[in-house]
Structure 1
């Protein structure tokens, strides 16, 4: 956790020095949203339903594992989903359909992981409206679009908004950026369709979700397995590395050292010159490291498990969605 995040989540008083900048951030973001409400900025609607999966805080809240779960769940409901993403950390300017062998430096680490794991087409573009149109052009069978981390992308009209919260860290000091971790004020949660608390209870959420760790997998094919009780060095470039550390400990690994970089860090071979294996990293980081990985490098996959309240509310929301779009959405 960097110094700024420590201030946010440990509620250090010096963060108050940044409140004037937070006031400016509020005026700009609230003014922009007001322009969309008044119709002075145009909201554009795609011809299929759009579900936003986002958050109101910066940093990791479990959106990627939840999106993977959501893809599977939507298929059980008869939908053929596709995914659009900004491609944060990548270099794509125009819409691009992500291939499983793409470079994360080009398309972004999360979109590449989603393309490899979801079984859904994934399109990246800074313009999510353009991404959605490109997706439907290339994959016309898609009848529902998931927008990964697009809650504040108001130009894209949406049918459902799902927000993930980290129950352990909550909303920090409750202040807007940069004095706090919030992209929008807490009252924004009252306007979304489903709030899910990850890894614990939150009074702000409608439902909960846990992350279940799988078996550690090697980055290289045919490499020897990594067994629990092994002493490892932990590597992560994610928004909430503390949660990853807890997952590794619960999986039975003995952590010798932790090496944490900022979220979406563009890993290079030189980053590991001073590290000796075995290494254990997140799956999101693994997609950036396979090209220079060694035999004793492994990643720990996680699977989202929303609770009954989440699936019940989501089922109701999808039924309402079908009534708005007609029976062609979500049917075989």
Structure 2
């Protein structure tokens, strides 16, 4: 049952869901046009607003495409940027110009993968596919609700501990649309799973997902693998297990759990809203919380915003490190998803 306050908001949620339902029906029936492109397009998105792990899953997909000999590109709307229109990331890009997640992708792939932002994904795809050299596939970051584009492969993410099938539509819950939106998915990935999730637990979750998805749609399970701290500020190494945690992401819980389990002692958690634009006063407050030998840990997504030009001098004076994450799939999830990707490049492939 929803929280008592959510119960009061349910009528508004039903109204919101009805409006979105009509919109989706118009696209499903072809009354509203949805463009399909000759090059494979892979959408990664969610039903729940924020925090399902889109960024590391997009990176995983891009690496798989590269390993298969493809030349992928990434298209995002560039949430949080202070610009508009079509922009391709380059060495001058900042979080303010293209958004923190696209900048993270650009840095991860060292500029070897085109990263483009455009709030109009359809126009963005049309422009991107005209560049030279043209990408052989495009990964659409956070485009599940962008119905003006019909992706070749539609991947829906949902968290193990916050699954869409236990949530409600905004404002009673955190869903961007009703649970029935899962029927558009060609694959569902349950993210941030406990590494020891048993086969029976996976089967139970799969049954719940398939109450809303199409029959026989693959339901896969992924977890996070955390790497060693990477220096952002002036220090080269972590001096002690005492840390101050700095986050501006939707769901810092998994990182908190990992750091605690890894033996770090979090003396302070400076938690900001998702995509928070850090300021010099934020950095000054952070510096005031540090004691001798302590370090600041953050996420890679936060780190790209900490390195905005106006903040670089202040950040360089502090022992700040980010914790990198990569996606790993449980059981044969990676093989199943790789097979879906391979099918996109076979003649007359139907997903």
TM-score over 0.5 for the pair: yes
Residue 306 (structure 1) aligns with: 329
Quick one: distance in 1 between partners of 2:318 and 2:284?
A: 15
Partner of 2:297: helix, strand, or coil? strand
* 1:90 aligned onto 2:81: yes
Structure 1 residues not aligned, in runs of 5+: 1-9, 327-332
Residue 208 (structure 1) aligns with: 221
Residue 11 (structure 2) aligns with: 20
Is the CA contact (8 Å cut-off) linking 1:198 and 1:209 kept in structure 2?
yes
Per-residue CA distance 1:136-162 (angstroms, 9 max, x = gap) = 223433100000000000001211011
Q: Return the match for 2:133 from 125, 133, 140.
A: 140
Residue 270 (structure 1) aligns with: 281
Quick one: distance in 2 between partners of 1:11 and 1:225?
A: 45
Residue 169 (structure 1) aligns with: 162
TM-score, scaled to structure 2: 0.84
Distance change in 2, residues 1:193/1:100 (3 Å): farther
Is the CA contact (8 Å cut-off) linking 2:73 and 2:135 kept in structure 1?
yes
Quick one: distance in 2 between partners of 1:151 and 1:325?
A: 24
Cα drift, residue 270 of structure 1: 1.3
TM-score, scaled to structure 1: 0.88
Is the CA contact (8 Å cut-off) linking 1:100 and 1:116 kept in structure 2?
no
Cα drift, residue 182 of structure 1: 1.1
Quick one: distance in 2 between partners of 1:78 and 1:86?
A: 26
Is the CA contact (8 Å cut-off) linking 1:172 and 1:181 kept in structure 2?
no
Quick one: distance in 2 between partners of 1:234 and 1:11?
A: 31
Partner of 1:137: helix, strand, or coil? coil
**Root-mean-square deviation (Å):** 2.0
Residue 329 (structure 1) aligns with: none
Distance change in 2, residues 1:325/1:86 (3 Å): farther
Quick one: distance in 2 between partners of 1:325 and 1:114?
A: 31
Is the CA contact (8 Å cut-off) linking 1:92 and 1:124 kept in structure 2?
no
Partner of 1:281: helix, strand, or coil? strand
Distance change in 2, residues 1:139/1:176 (3 Å): farther
Is the CA contact (8 Å cut-off) linking 1:22 and 1:177 kept in structure 2?
yes
Per-residue CA distance 1:3-25 (angstroms, 9 max, x = gap) = xxxxxxx9422111111221221
Per-residue CA distance 1:214-256 (angstroms, 9 max, x = gap) = 1111113x632125x5211111111101122112223332100
Residue 30 (structure 1) aligns with: 21
Distance change in 2, residues 1:168/1:320 (3 Å): same
Is the CA contact (8 Å cut-off) linking 1:123 and 1:134 kept in structure 2?
no
Which runs of structure 1 show a deviation greater than 4 angstroms over 4 or more consecutive aligned residues?
A: none
- Count of residues in correspondence between the two structures: 315
Quick one: distance in 2 between partners of 1:324 and 1:29?
A: 35
Partner of 1:275: helix, strand, or coil? helix
Distance change in 2, residues 1:43/1:164 (3 Å): same
Residue 7 (structure 1) aligns with: none
Cα drift, residue 69 of structure 1: 1.2
| 1:176-255 correspondence runs (5 A) | 176-200=169-193, 201=202, 202-203=205-206, 204=209, 206-220=219-233, 223-226=235-238, 230-255=241-266
* 1:77 aligned onto 2:68: yes
